Amino acid sequence: MSDARPALTLLTEEESAFREAVREFAESTIKPRVAAMDRAATMDPEVIQACFDMGLMSVEVPEQYGGQGGTFFMAILAIEELARVDPAVSVMVDVQTTLVQNMILRWGSEEIKQWILPQISKDKVAAYCLSEAGSGSDAFALACEAREDGDAYVLDGHKLWITNAGEAEFFAVFATVDKSLRHRGITCFLVEREQKGFSVSKKEDKLGIRASSTCEILLEGVRVPKSRILGEVGKGYKVAIETLNEGRIGIGAQMVGLARGAFEGALAYVQERKQFGRPIGENQGVQFQLAEMAARIRAARLLVWDAARRRDAGEPFLTEAAYAKLVASRAAEYVASEAVNLFGGNGFTKEYPIEKFYRDAKIGQIYEGTTNMQLQTIAKQLLGGATLP
C-alpha cells in the first residue's frame, strides 16, 4: 500500500499564475537593467513605468480606484519575485503597496481615496516619511512639527532615510501637533512634492539597494489642508504602527526573494565550476552548504506567507510579522554570504551578480524595524502569555 500523500497546496491557481507572470516580467524587463541601475544608483524611469503598467504598483487597490483589486498576499508574492532579480526595485514596489496604499485604504476618507489612489495606481510614486535624525527605533520621538493655522496645518522639520523620495510625487509625512503629548500628538499628513516649502534634499550614497532612492526631506512652512490629514489628528501613531506591521511582512518577502536569487545563482555555479577534475557541487561540504541555504529560505518563506495569510484573513499578525522579518532578514544575509563563498574569487567581483545580493541583504536587518526591535516584539508577546503556534 502506498503512503504517498498529495502535496499541500500553498498557492491557488490564480496566485501561481500571477507569480509566474511577475517572475517573467522581472526576468525580461528588470534583469537586463539591474547592473546599470546599481552603478548609476538610479532607478530607470522605464522600469518604474513598467511596474505601473504591469499593475505591480497597485496590487491591492480596488478596481474602482484604478488598481488591480488583488490581495495583500499577492502583493507579497510580487515583492518576493522582484527581489529575486533586484531587491532595489522590490522595495520601491513594497513601499508603494504595503505601506502607503494600505495606509490610505484603511485610514483615508473617501475624498482622499478618490484623489490620490488613481494617481498612485497609474504613474505616481509615493513615499512614507516617518524617520528622523533622532527617531529611528524610537519612532515617535519626532521633531517635525505641525502648527494649526485656520483650515490647515503648517509643517516644519526634516525627515531622513526616506525610500522612494527621489521619484515620489506624494509623501505621507508624520509630524507632531504637540511634542508634550509624545506619541499622542503624532499626525499623518499627505503632502505633494510641488507644494511650497517642500523639497527633497540629500540623497544617500548607500552600500546596497543603490537604485532605490533614499533621501532627506525638508519641510519649511509647508501648508497642508486639514482635508489631507490621514485618519485623525493625534492618531498618526496608530496609523504608523499598523502600517509598519504590514510593511515588515513586505520586507520579509523582499529578503526571501533576495535569498532565492543568491541561492539559485550559487546552485547553478557549483554545477559548472570544476576543481580537481569535477564540479565543486559534487563535494559533500558544498552540498551541505546548499542544503543549509535552502532550508533557511524555505523556513523564512513559510513564515512570511503565514503572516500574509493571517493579515488577509483578518487575524492578528503582529508577532507573525516580527517572526517573518527576523528570520527572513537573517536568512538573506546568511545565504548571500554563503553564495559569495561558493563563487570564490568570482563572487568578490562585479562581473557576477552575487556581490550585489550580498550588499543588498544588509539593510534587511535595519529598516522597518531592526532585528533587536523584532526580538523585543516577540519577547513581549511571549512574556504576555502568547504561545508558539
- pLDDT digits 0-9 by tens, 299-336: 999 999 999 999 999 999 999 999 999 999 999 999 99
Fold of 237-383: Butyryl-CoA Dehydrogenase, subunit A; domain 3 (1.20.140)
Which grid cell is 243?
A: 502600517
* CB-based contacts of 128, cutoff 8 Å, min separation 6: 95, 99, 100, 103, 162, 163, 164, 171, 172, 243, 247
Q: What is the pLDDT of residue 1?
A: 40
Q: What is the pLDDT of residue 137?
A: 75
Q: What is the pLDDT along the chain (389 residues), one digit of tens a residue?
A: 445 555 567 899 999 999 999 999 999 999 999 999 999 999 999 999 999 999 999 999 999 999 999 999 999 999 999 999 999 999 999 999 999 999 999 999 999 999 999 999 999 999 999 999 988 777 678 999 999 999 999 999 999 999 999 999 999 999 999 998 988 999 999 999 999 999 999 999 999 999 999 999 999 999 999 999 999 999 999 999 999 999 999 999 999 999 999 999 999 999 999 999 999 999 999 999 999 999 999 999 999 999 999 999 999 999 999 999 999 999 999 999 999 999 999 999 999 999 999 999 999 999 999 999 999 999 999 999 877 76
d(CA 53, CA 122) in angstroms, rounded, equals: 7
* CB-based contacts of 49, cutoff 8 Å, min separation 6: 123
Q: What is the pLDDT of residue 2?
A: 46
Q: What is the pLDDT of residue 8?
A: 60
Which grid cell is 290?
A: 546548499
The verdict on whether 338 is a catalytic residue reads no
Q: What is the pLDDT of residue 134?
A: 86
Q: 65 with 118: CB under 8 angstroms?
A: yes
Q: What is the pLDDT of residue 23?
A: 98
> Distances in Å between the alpha carbon of 108 and those of 111, 250, 354?
8, 21, 41
Fold of 13-124: Butyryl-Coa Dehydrogenase, subunit A; domain 1 (1.10.540)
CATH 1.20.140.10 spans which residues of the chain? 237-383
The CATH code of domain 127-234 reads 2.40.110.10
d(CA 160, CA 136) in angstroms, rounded, equals: 9
Q: What is the pLDDT of residue 78?
A: 98
**What is the pTM (predicted TM-score) of this model?**
0.96
CATH 1.10.540.10 spans which residues of the chain? 13-124
Catalytic residue among 60, 80, 338, 368: 368
